[in-house]
Amino acid sequence: MNHFDQLIDIDSKPDDSPVTVADREAENSILEDLESLFPNIPVIAEEAVSSGQIPDFDRCFFLVDPLDGTREFIAGRNEFTVNIALIEDQIPTFGIIYAPALEQLYVTFAPNQSGQLFLAPGFLGENVTNCNEIRAREMPDEELDVLVSYSHTDEETENYLKEISIKSRVRAGSSLKFCLLAKGSADLYPRYGRTMEWDTAAGQAILQAAGGSVLQIDGSPFLYGKKHKNFANPGFIARGIHPPL
């Protein structure tokens, strides 16, 4: 937050995506804390991977995106997040997403329970009482409220949207799209374009615990730990509560 809405240097990574000092400082802080709290669990973190630092990992590891929505951050929009997820046997079982500029935190509490807290940056209180359980809503058969990205559009996603009945298109940044589904504010978030595992894992954990789902375009499970693909994701459909595809 010290860097938000300030003039900062912007670099480009090998894939031409932007990176700032805020990304790097946030990741260093998160890695230090995870190492202290969970020294035996490896961490796959976005900026470390971009510089070739990939630890050995097996069935259990963390995925970290220290600043999801860097383009939103650079543009001065407040819909950027910090994403941390625990992966067990290729499935995200715990997720936490914090949107500091919005003072909103989303987290999984149990396999079938997610919650939303309102938390100001820098809050160090031990007892947090303003937590509300959230739940995805039942999807209608038509007239869907569909989430789309501010910064990322692609022809395949647009073609998919032309084939379904849409009530509204809601633009949202970063992993907050998963959170909006999880708390029942929208029905569907299709994404054919490129994402990385640290972009989606925490959101998937939160959405699944709230009753929703994330699946590949063909309906198969959306899994993690794809080191052979440099942790790139296939396309996916994230949605509220609905019978299987």
How confident is the model over 135-145, as pLDDT tens digits?
999 999 899 99
Band (21; pLDDT cuts 50, 70, 90): very high
Least confident of 62-66, 119-123, 185-189, 193-197: 119-123
Q: What is the pLDDT of residue 6?
A: 82
d(CA 84, CA 201): 8
For residues 55-78, give the mean pLDDT.
Answer: 93
pLDDT above 80: residue 244: no
How confident is the model over 142-178, as pLDDT tens digits?
999 999 987 667 889 889 999 999 999 998 989 999 9
Q: What is the pLDDT of residue 232?
A: 97
Three-state secondary structure along 60-90? EEEEEEEEECHHHHHHCCCCCEEEEEEEECC
For residues 214-227, give the mean pLDDT.
Answer: 97
Q: What is the CA radius of gyration of the chain?
A: 17
Place of tokens 């240097």: 9
CA–centroid distance for 165 within its chain: 26
pLDDT above 70: residue 133: yes
Average pLDDT, the chain: 92
Structural domains for the chain? 10-133 (3.30.540.10), 144-239 (3.40.190.80)
Q: What share of the chain is helix, strand, coil (3-state, %, to 5)?
A: 25, 35, 40
Give the strand pairing for 131-134 and 166-172.
unpaired
pLDDT above 80: residue 61: yes
For residues 53-64, give the mean pLDDT.
Answer: 97
